[in-house]
């Protein structure tokens, strides 16, 4: 929740009791996800009317295509940087990594589902050398049932 506030995401068009209700639903959805309930958090955000202004966060046509392709990868599935590039008619897999590095909602917009072509985990949240981030990516994949 703090991450959403820092990145200035508007939670809803409604304030007070309605917004508190949405925040509680969001918190419950994230807790359900983290405890192993099969849930697609991006779809859940839409269903509880959380506004995700992706066009404002991802301003280029390329980055919007990457994110729109990424959110179609379901829990328990994975893709590679090069396969994601192919899905947007590009060979620029490093540029795909740059888009994902700037993902303000890595749990909601599932960049953890993108792995290296050789099957290794790779970086997460823009970091390659931080063990905790790679372990977080591995944990999220396991929660979703993806075997590493």
Indicate which residues carry an active-site annotation.
111
Q: Which residues pair with 80 in a beta bridge?
A: 115
b/e map of 1-35 (b: 16 or more CB within 10 Å)? eeebeeeebebbeeeeeeeeebbebbeebbeebee
Whether 95 and 83 have beta carbons less than 8 Å apart is answered as no
Token reading at 100: 């994902």
């Amino acid at each position: 929740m703090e991450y959403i506030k820092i990145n200035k995401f508007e939670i809803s068009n409604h304030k007070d009791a309605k917004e508190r209700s949405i925040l509680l639903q969001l918190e419950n959805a994230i807790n359900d996800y983290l405890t192993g309930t099969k849930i697609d958090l991006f779809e859940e955000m839409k269903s509880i009317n959380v506004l995700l202004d992706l066009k404002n966060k991802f301003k280029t046509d390329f980055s919007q295509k990457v994110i729109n392709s990424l959110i179609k990868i379901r829990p328990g599935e994975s893709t590679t940087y090069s396969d994601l590039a192919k899905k947007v008619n590009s060979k620029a897999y490093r540029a795909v990594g740059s888009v994902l590095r700037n993902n303000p909602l890595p749990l909601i917009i599932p960049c953890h589902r993108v792995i290296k072509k050789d099957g290794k985990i790779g970086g997460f949240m823009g970091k390659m050398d931080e063990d905790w981030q790679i372990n977080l990516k591995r944990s999220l994949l396991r929660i979703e049932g993806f075997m590493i």
